[in-house]
Amino acid sequence: MSSDFEVAAAIVQHQMTQALPTVSMIVKFVAPTLQIRTTHPTSDRKIIRSVLTALQDCRDALHRLPIKTIAIYGMQGTRTILWKKSFSLEEVLNDTATRNNRDLFSFNNKHMNRAAFPAAFLFSAIAHWTSLDSFLLGLRIWTHEFGHATVA
C-alpha cells in the first residue's frame, strides 16, 4: 500500500506532465526534498522557469508533503546527472507575487494598482486645465460614464 507522500508525489507528477507535455520528467519525494528528474541536457532557464511555474499550480499537493527544498536534475540515463538546480519551497511558491510585480500589464501588480488612480486623476486634471479639454470631449464623456458603470 502506498503512503500519503507517494500519492501526493504522484499527483504532482501528473499535474506537471499535464502542464508540460513536451518535457519528460519523474517526480520523487525524498524527505525533505522533492526531486524532479528530467532528460533535458542543459539547465535552460526557460525549462526551469516552466517547471517552477507548473509547480506553483500544484500548491495543494505540495502542501501535503513536508518539503523544504525542490531539486531539479538533468539526467542522462538513470545514473548520470548532467546538471542540478535547487530552490526552497517558499522561494518557488512566492515567486508568483514577484513576477506579477515585474509585469506592468498584470492585474495583480501592486505598484500599478497603487499608481493607476492617482495617475488617471492627474491626467484628467491636466487635460481639464489645458486646451486638451476640448480635444478630449468624447473621451471625457466616455470616461465619466465608465466611472458610473464601475461603481455600479
Burial class (CB in 10 A: 0-12, 13-18, 19+), 51: buried
Q: Tell me which residue range forms the domain holding 134.
A: 104-151
Per-residue confidence (pLDDT) for residue 97, from 0 to 100:
61
The answer on 111 and 75 residing in a single domain is: no
Is 98 within the bounds of a domain? no
Number of domains in the chain: 2
pTM: 0.55
Q: Is residue 30 part of a domain?
A: yes
Same domain, 36 and 108: no
Tell me the C-alpha distance between 70 and 68, whole Å. Answer: 7
Write down the pLDDT at residue 99. Answer: 66
Question: What are the per-10-residue average pLDDT scores of the chain (152 residues)?
Answer: 70 81 80 83 78 77 79 83 83 66 74 86 83 73 86 82
CA angle 40, 44, 45 (to 5 degrees): 140
The pLDDT value recorded for residue 1 is 39
User: What's the confidence (pLDDT) of residue 2?
Assistant: 54
